[in-house]
Structure formats: C-alpha cells, structure tokens
Amino acid sequence: MKTCRHLLTLGLALASLNTVVTTHAADDGSSVVVVYNSRVPASKEVAEHYAQARNVPADQLVGLELSEGEGMTRSEFRLGLQEPLFKKFRDAGWFKTKLDSSSGRLAYKVVESSIRHLVLCYGVPVRIQPEPGLVERGTEQQPAQLRRNEAAVDSELTWLPILELRPLLSGPMANEFYGQTNSAAFHPTNGILLTARLDGPTPEIAKGLVDQALAAETNGLWGRTYFDLRGIREGEYKQGEDWIRAGSEITRQLGLPTIIDERPGTFSTNFPMSQIAYYAGWYDPHASGPFAAAEVDFMPGAVAYHLHSFSAANLRSASQNWVGPLLAKGAAATVGFVYEPYLGGTLDVGVFTARFFHQGFSLSEAAWAASPVLSWQTTVIGDPLYRPFALGPQQLHERLAQRKSPLIEWSHLRVVDLNLAIGTRATELTGYLEEVPETATSAVLSEKLGDLYGAVGKPNSAVLMYRRALGLATSKPQRARLSMSLADKLLAEGKQAEAWEVLENFGREFPAYENQLEVYRQMLGVAEKLKKDAEVKNLREKIEALEKPVATPPQ
C-alpha cells in the first residue's frame, strides 16, 4: 500500500509541476459583454441564459438590430454592429480612450478597459460577405489571393479596440499575440478583444455550451484525446500536420489517453471513438467517420476541431460542414472558418493544446493565442471563460475523491499514464491499480490494468481484466474497442473457442461495422481451426460478397 500511495503522490505532483500557471487570474462575468440580435427572440434568450450562468451584469447585455441570417454585408456590419458597439463601449465607460500618436497617426487609443471578452449569441450573423466594390489604398502590395474583404464577424471584432486606426479590411491582419504565453496580455489596452460566440444549430445547443463549460470546470475535462493525421511528411500541407502532431505529443506528456491515426483518410465510420475529451483532425468537407453517427460519445465539456477551409460556412446546420454537426453531437467548444483562410490562417493546434490543456488558458485566450492572424475567417464557438484546467491535478483529484465522483477513475488513469511517461515500471503501476478500490467497478481502470498485465507478461490476467471491462462498459464505441482487444488477446493465447464467442457477439452487436470484412476474415480463421464447417461456408460467402468489386454504371 505504501508504494501505491507514493505513486499517487508522485504522479499528481508531477502533473502540478508540469502545469505552468497562467499569469492572469480566472475572469468572471464582470469582464464580459454579451451581444444579441434584438430581431431574434431566441438570441436574447441565449444571452440571458449565459448572463445568469456567468453572473454577467444586466447592463452588459447589448441588443442590436441585425440581419437575421448567418451573413451580413460589410456596410451592415460597420453601421449596425461594429461602430454602434464601439460607441457603446466608450459611452458605458468600458473603454476609456485618449488621443495617441504612437502608431504614427493621431487616433483614440484604449488606455483602460473593464472588459476583456465579447460574447456573440445565436442570431448574430457569423460572416461578413465580400464587397467587390471596396477599394483600399495599400492592398496592391498584398498577394492576389489575399485581396479579399470577406471575413468572420468574430475575427473582425477582435480588433475593436483599434477601430480608430482604421486597419485595412482586405486580407488578414498579423496577430501579434500568436504564441503568447502570458494570458494577461490579451487585453483591449493592447489592442485585442477576446471574441467568441454561443451558437450552433439550435438555441438550446447554444445555451448548453456554457452549461457544459461549468460542469467541466467543476469536475474536470476527462476522457480520451484523438488526433487524425494524414501521414504528410513534406510539402505545403506539412505545417498543418506538424501542428496537429504537436498537440498529440502535449496531451500524451500530460498523461491524457492519446490515440493517433496517421492514415491518409479520416477516422473510419465505425472507428470505436469512445469517451472523447478532445479531437483534432483534417480534412473532409463534411462531418464524417464516427462524427456522422447518430450519437457521438463526447464527454462533458469536450473540445473538437476539424481543419477544413469552410468548416463554419453553415454554422447553424446540423448536417453540413463540421462546426454545426460537432456542436449538435455534443461538443462544448470548437473553432471554424467561414471562408477560405488558407492553411497559414487556420488554428495552430499545438499552440492551442499547450495553452488550453497545459497552461490553463481560457477557451478564447487559447484560441486567439493559436491564431496566426486576425481580421480573417476564424470563429471561436463556446464559452470564452471556459477554463477546465484552472485547478491543479492534485486539487482536482482531492475534490473528486471528496465528492465520491465516478470521474475519479480518469484521475487515477492519469496518474498511471504520467508515471508511464516518465519511465515508471509497469509492475509498480499494476500494484497501484490493484489497490485502487475504483478499479473493481471501472471499465476505464480495468482496461488499463489489462494493458499493464499484458505489458508485464501476464496474458491470462490481461484477459480477465478485458472481460471485466467489457462487462462494465457503458457506451457502444467503448464496447467495440474492448471486444476487439479481447479477441486479439485470446487469439494470441491460442484460445480459439473463447475468441470465436467474443467475435460472434461483436458481429451481433455491431452488424454495420465498417471493417466487417476484416472481422469476417478473422472469424474465418478461427472457424477453420475449430472445424465449424457451416460457419466457414457462411463466412466465405460473406467475404466473397464484400470483396466483389462494385459494377460501374454505364456512362
């Protein structure tokens, strides 16, 4: 028992030491202004729900008469949203300005601000449509593909504090806060307003984003992290691959279960993606693979991001592009793009992961720290104050233990993974999990103990743990993954009859499994060894049907 207690302390202490505490204390509702569309009743409902949840003062809710669709013209944006909002900030005293010439031009500069965050609610337009007739001096020096003035409303409002400087509207603005490690630097007095939105396919989904955020801040953001790479080793798209790969390395080092796919395609339809805390991948145009399923196994507070040029082109659609479907399936936060941003104008997943998961930045701080440009195509969806990693791992573990929360299983798992990451022997960690009471009733911990038994050469014990985990599993993706792991382990041990039983049950429970051909081939090998002649014949027919090429219709 002494060794296990030592490992518990060691693992959590390491997590605390490896967590860089952000230099800015967590904000509250007093630092937020909420904007809603007064022409859309549901927009005000979302605003009021957020204000109540985050204790935003009533006079910091601003209703404006805006277009009712997702798009608005540049003129509508300037006259109906941008300039009235700037005036409201100054009149209310949220921005205090003075004339300043440090930029080389005499203009009003924000010298004091009580507000750091701007929340745009469901009903507020998402994108500013292109204005072909807009002519600006200086754009002739931009690359031809960047001489565009369409933009995300959110990204265009991040530079509200420097409105008086009248930056170019065509092309992106370099984000001087890109890669910033000091969260306090994100402040209107430095020229940036942290903008995010509560939005999605329905007002109810938009309201739920803050509810999920608060739940995860209370209990922690737990689960598995998934990174969908494309196996790119060189060329113009390697930057995106490197960003996502960097994110995966950060979560692994933080002791979070990390699953990486390096195949060119996205995760397959029936990939057993269970208990999702974080997803980052690319590059299908519409939600695909596990995210196209009727139900997705998102954990409370989950963050999901898919890199595609038009991922937020139809933010309020539950079926088109990525942002809407991810929110409809249960993600609490995401980032998307309303028009073509080009790869260099998208989210740096490595920076976002480091700031959000490692340094305890809020969602909006992490997202804008990871954005190479402003005044471009990015929209951040979720509660900007969302900060699930404000508490250190030790504090959170103690809180979960005190509440007898079932989520403590994930904290125990993190202890094991952190110790594995620093080279602690698997034999010591099996002892730890054997003595943790929660292991007996946790599919998560039983599965991990099975992995450890396998690593130390105890295959029979590993099988017992996988069986127990399968019996305790609550979600279909979790059961699918455990079933295949158990079957593989049994086959490796020559236990053909037991493996056949597991594979048969798998086939009945998951008849539409995308990799059914692979399963059938595995079952055929087992059936042949067990001399199940009828099953062999049946499986060969199924395999032949699946292998038969689909006829191409005549042109």
Please give the full DSSP string across 347-414, using - where no structure is assigned: --HHHHHIIIIIS---HHHHHHHT-SEESSSEEEES-TT--TTSS-HHHHHHHHHHHT-TTHHHHHHH
Nearest to 250 by CA among 217, 225, 287: 225
The span from the CA of 374 to the CA of 159, in Å, is: 8
Q: Following CA atoms 522, 528, 529, 534 in sequence, which dihedral angle do they give, to the nearest 10 degrees?
A: 110
Q: How would residue 12 be classed by pLDDT, with cut points 50, 70 and 90?
A: very low
Q: How would residue 135 be classed by pLDDT, with cut points 50, 70 and 90?
A: confident
Q: Where is average pLDDT lowest: 39-53, 377-391, 475-489?
A: 475-489
More confident residue, 156 or 13: 156
The span from the CA of 172 to the CA of 376, in Å, is: 5
User: What's the pTM?
Assistant: 0.90
Nearest to 34 by CA among 64, 68, 60, 67: 60
pLDDT of residue 541: 84
pLDDT tens per residue across span 474-515 = 888 899 889 988 998 998 888 999 998 998 888 888 877 656
pLDDT tens per residue across span 254-265 = 999 999 999 888
pLDDT tens per residue across span 456-467 = 999 999 999 999
Q: Is 548 helix (H, G, I), strand (E, B) or coil?
A: coil
pLDDT of residue 217: 96
Show the 3-state SS of 63-98.
Answer: EECCCCCCEECHHHHHHHHHHHHHHHHHHCCCEEEE
**Is the per-residue pLDDT at 554 higher than 50?**
no
pLDDT of residue 294: 87
Element containing residue 326 per DSSP (H, E): helix 323-328
The span from the CA of 468 to the CA of 352, in Å, is: 37
